[in-house]
Chains A and B, each alone.
Chain A
Amino acid sequence: MEPYKSQIGQPVSRLEGHLKVTGTARYAGDYSVPGLLYGYVINSTITKGKIISFDTSRAKALPGVLEVFTHENRPSLAWFDLQYADMDAPPGSPFRPLQDADILYNGQPIGLVVAETFELARYAATLMDIEYEEEAFDTDLRSQQHLARSPKIGMATMLKPLPPKPKGNFEKAFNASPNQVSAEFFHGTEHHNPLELFATTTVYEGKGKLTIYDKTQGTINSQMYVANIFGLKFKNVRVISPYVGGAFGSALRPQYQLFLSVMAALKLERSVLVTLDRHQMFTFGHRPPTVQRTRFSADNNGIITALNHLAIGETSRFEDYTEVVVNWSHMLYPAANTLMQYKLVELDVYSPLDMRAPGGVTGMHAIESTIDELAHKSKIDPLQLRLTNYTEIDVSLNRPYSSKELRECYLQGAEKFGWDKRNPEPRSMRRGNKLVGYGMATGIWEANQLPAKAEAILTGDGKLKINSAVTDIGTGTLTVMTQIAADELGLPVEDVEFAYGDSKKPFAPIQGGSFTVSTVGSAVKAVGAAMRKKLFSIAKKMKGGVFDGADLKDVSFEGGRVFITNDRSRSVSFQEIIAANDNKPVKLSKFSVPSILKLKKYSRAAHSAVFVEVEVDEELGVINVTRAVTAVAAGKIINPKTARSQILGGMIWGISKALREETIQDDGLGKYMNQNLSEYHIPVHADIHELDVIFVDEKDTVVNELGTKGVGEIGIVGMPPAITNAIFNATGKRINQLPIHFDMLL
């Protein structure tokens, strides 16, 4: 028999690949249900005020229109804020669709048309006669900065710690330092814009029972939300979501199409599909606009002496959405004097929402641009400045890292990129009529683990099934979990089925924050280990006494057999074990919880070093990222193929953030002006050139049982500053507002 080849570390192709390339993977809006009705949402056209009258009669008169739901005729619903809170709810009072006549933001859902066809519902939605009483509003962060205040504290603060306490005397140290840099940054609003439109198909099963196909990053999160608001029993609400057409944080909270679809289905006792259109995809959470100010200083040897980072972020009037923006610089750079500040301004907008590397990608752009300027002013190579200030411990909390191979990232990335060929003098490198610039930056993202449960079933054919409620938003969860489970029992991937995306399955938290592999993967590993133990205990009792005198530590599991590690002739097959178990499948589940006591002694983070080359057309200012290398240290990489894709995706998001995407706001109207994919720019194929990914070896025995740190966000964080630093090297211009348009360089 061939020795078992560990599946962890193998570049296994996505197991659902076949379904995705043949169009058979079904997303939330792809379920054909008999008698399905179509809902179309009506949105507010004012920013703040009240609905005075809402006449739906012209729509209701159309044959085929079943109902128009508004705040006036909606069913009565749950009363308490807590019943509307979801797993990602910030402190405050969650938005309640169709609650009353109040308008809190532009584009707020105020009604739902339900009709026999999509076309009819869409048409009927244009026939509303609505009168509003408008009130004055503010949506402009920059003009309202004087109102900035400290954020409220709540459950969310646990995963999003407030800034660390000040150290030393910042002002004194900064003023005494020979090399000082001050900078101000502005980032505008961004919308996640996954390519799949938000959709919910609520299948009305009768007797208060619902099967819901929802676009979500957490099946149990949506289940909880629906059951709490509509007063249904948990077991009567089943949320299914195996295929999610991108999310990037947008589906961490249940969105209003879920609420409206369920409300209509319960009231009409029919199945209802509500799909948002692309315009409506800009009417719920977004990455908040943020103002940042940095002041960093160094001595003449390039030792950083003082760090001050202030961020002012936008939030809504009803919730305090926060991000970790200012905590990162001191995690990377030791300085005796620090001052970190984070504040919020309430505006008349919807609550912001976590979007890929929330806070991190915002803060690191400011931090790493300021570091680059500090290197330039100190006449030190930017990579050297970072190596000079390299720290093995997290100085901000004075505790060691569970692992940190950032130095290797710097070295391997620089080598692969050819950093030594950089001329530090801006505008010194050229290629034809293009200025060429090299820039680099550091990336960091936290490595968290949450509790999760998994169930394992070993059946008579010797195959293993693992159950979890977790989703797979395109990150590769199905494939990676299958690999982890396969390794625990020494099975080939083909003999393992990972069943997921269903709230009926064991608990998994929302999928985000780069913590899914560490969270659900740990539960899968734990249940696999429990299964080994159970199988061995059954085998030990089997007739023939194959394992007499042996302990679990003496046996191995490979190719569907248990055997004495030193004597392969003493073995029993999984099938024989199940037969000995009265032919009953062995079924067990395991809850995995992070070892808080052990973990709190360490800081845990993934790191990256990013190197970018840009070309800038000297006359036209057109910017092209011609090549980029990202070296990542993220602990154990379960699947280098899907992990590489995650990093590539993050890098492209970084290019997008630096050079393309922005939601343009008209503060006179209080609304977003480019709510479509032709004016909300993201990179197209022609914008993307050579991208390279290096995974640096990193062994971590602390972070979790698997040694994984997650790769969903680390790919984006270092990219925008590496690009802007390269643009500085190319042009001598430092633009601190993203995205950088070519006209800013002219």
Chain B
Amino acid sequence: MLTELTEPTTLKASQPVNLVVNGTPLQLNLLPWVSLLDALRDYSGLTGTKKGCDHGQCGACTVICDGKRVLSCLSLAVSKDGSEITTIEGIAPEGDLHPLQKAFIEHDAFQCGYCTPGQICSAIGMMKEGKAKTRAEVKELMSGNLCRCGANTNIIDAIMEVQNQSVHE
């Protein structure tokens, strides 16, 4: 099923990768073929970020990298050396919830919960971009994050509530 790859010359050559993840500096030693997603999940114990396709098609792996939402499965960890990453585990201080997290619970914006970390990180990134004003625009700019359970309307309701709150603050 997989296409055969040529032997990677760097198979044995790990490289130091420095990341600041949720405010904590992490020094990792990774092969260049490790994605940012696997660096978080398999090498840093941060399994809140999910793998749904590994091809940038579902959005479950969305994290915030240097203030922007990125698909961590399409980013090689070595290319993010020196970056500041925020994952679902770090969007609110420990013991506290981000307003979006609260709104997601209140609006029942998930069922299985697997797309949720990506939806929330993506929504935080989207709000920061400041492009989406209307519900239609929010739906459009959140469309890279799939939800198979069909919690779509509840997800958008939760985001709109928080977006409207921050507009009025």
A216 vs chain B, min Cβ distance (A): 13
Q: Is B154 an interface residue (CB 8 A)?
A: yes
- Residues B43-81 near A (CB distance < 8 A): 45-55, 57-58, 60
Q: Is A66 an interface residue (CB 8 A)?
A: no
Contact mask A470-514 → B, CB, 8 Å, 1/0?
Answer: 000111100000000000000000000000000000000000000
A22-B48, A23-B48, A194-B114 are contacts. A126–B2 as well, Cβ < 8 Å?
A: yes
A246-B149, A474-B149, A678-B57 are contacts. A119–B111 as well, Cβ < 8 Å?
A: no
How far apart sit A642 and B108, CA to CA, in the bound complex (Å)?
Answer: 7
Contact A21 B110 (CB under 8 A): yes
Q: Which of A21, A43, A278, A686 contacts B104 (CB 8 A)?
A: A21
Contact A245 B114 (CB under 8 A): yes
Q: Is A197 an interface residue (CB 8 A)?
A: yes
Chain A residues whose CB sits within 8 angstroms of the CB of B108 once the complex forms: 13-14, 641-642, 644-645
Contact B111 A677 (CB under 8 A): no
Chain A residues whose CB sits within 8 angstroms of the CB of B169 once the complex forms: none
Q: Which of B51, B145, B152 contacts A652 (CB 8 A)?
A: B152
Instruction: Output the residue of A22, A126, A244, A476 with the most chain B CB within 10 A.
Output: A22
Chain B residues whose CB sits within 8 angstroms of the CB of A193 once the complex forms: 148
Contact mask A8-19 → B, CB, 8 Å, 1/0?
Answer: 000001101111
Q: Which of B1, B38, B88 contacts A279 (CB 8 A)?
A: B1
Q: Is B97 an interface residue (CB 8 A)?
A: yes
B92 vs chain A, min Cβ distance (A): 8
A23-B49, A32-B45, A641-B108 are contacts. A685–B143 as well, Cβ < 8 Å?
A: yes
Chain A residues whose CB sits within 8 angstroms of the CB of B146 once the complex forms: 195, 677, 682, 684
Q: Is B17 an interface residue (CB 8 A)?
A: no
- Residues A242-297 near B (CB distance < 8 A): 243-248, 275, 277-280
B107 vs chain A, min Cβ distance (A): 9
Q: Is A210 an interface residue (CB 8 A)?
A: no
Contact A645 B111 (CB under 8 A): yes
* Size of B's binding interface in residues, CB under 8 A: 66
How far apart sit A14 and B120, CA to CA, in the bound complex (Å)?
Answer: 17
Q: Which of A29, A118, A125, A476 contacts B111 (CB 8 A)?
A: A476
Contact mask A363-381 → B, CB, 8 Å, 1/0?
Answer: 0000000000000000000
How far apart sit A45 and B105, CA to CA, in the bound complex (Å)?
Answer: 44
Contact A14 B105 (CB under 8 A): yes
How far apart sit A560 and B5, CA to CA, in the bound complex (Å)?
Answer: 65
Q: Is A24 an interface residue (CB 8 A)?
A: yes
How far apart sit A27 and B47, CA to CA, in the bound complex (Å)?
Answer: 9
Contact A677 B106 (CB under 8 A): no
A518 vs chain B, min Cβ distance (A): 19
- Residues A630-673 near B (CB distance < 8 A): 641-642, 644-646, 648-653
User: Tally of A-B residue pairs with Cβ under 8 A?
Assistant: 188
Q: Is B89 an interface residue (CB 8 A)?
A: yes
A322 vs chain B, min Cβ distance (A): 25
Contact B153 A691 (CB under 8 A): yes
User: In the complex, which residue of chain A has the Cβ closest to the Cβ of B112?
Assistant: A474
Contact A17 B105 (CB under 8 A): yes
Chain A residues whose CB sits within 8 angstroms of the CB of B120 once the complex forms: 21
Chain B residues whose CB sits within 8 angstroms of the CB of A26 once the complex forms: 47
A119-B31, A677-B52, A686-B140 are contacts. A245–B42 as well, Cβ < 8 Å?
A: no
Q: Is A122 an interface residue (CB 8 A)?
A: yes
A21-B104, A645-B108, A677-B58 are contacts. A688–B152 as well, Cβ < 8 Å?
A: yes
How far apart sit A122 and B1, CA to CA, in the bound complex (Å)?
Answer: 11
Q: Is A77 an interface residue (CB 8 A)?
A: no
User: In the complex, which residue of chain A has the Cβ closest to the Cβ of B102?
Assistant: A21
Contact A245 B143 (CB under 8 A): no
Q: Which of B2, B113, B143 contacts A684 (CB 8 A)?
A: B143
Contact A650 B110 (CB under 8 A): no
A22-B101, A195-B60, A651-B150 are contacts. A118–B38 as well, Cβ < 8 Å?
A: yes
Q: Is B85 an interface residue (CB 8 A)?
A: no
Contact A475 B111 (CB under 8 A): yes
- Residues A110-125 near B (CB distance < 8 A): 117-119, 122-123, 125
**CB-based closest 7 A-B pairs:** A23-B48, A245-B114, A474-B112, A20-B113, A652-B150, A649-B150, A474-B111
A-B pairs with beta carbons under 8 Å apart, 7 shown = A13-B106, A13-B108, A21-B104, A119-B38, A195-B58, A474-B110, A641-B108
Known: A22-B89, A119-B31. 15 other contacts (CB 8 A): A21-B120, A23-B47, A23-B87, A123-B33, A125-B2, A126-B5, A195-B115, A245-B114, A248-B148, A278-B55, A280-B1, A653-B150, A676-B57, A677-B53, A688-B153
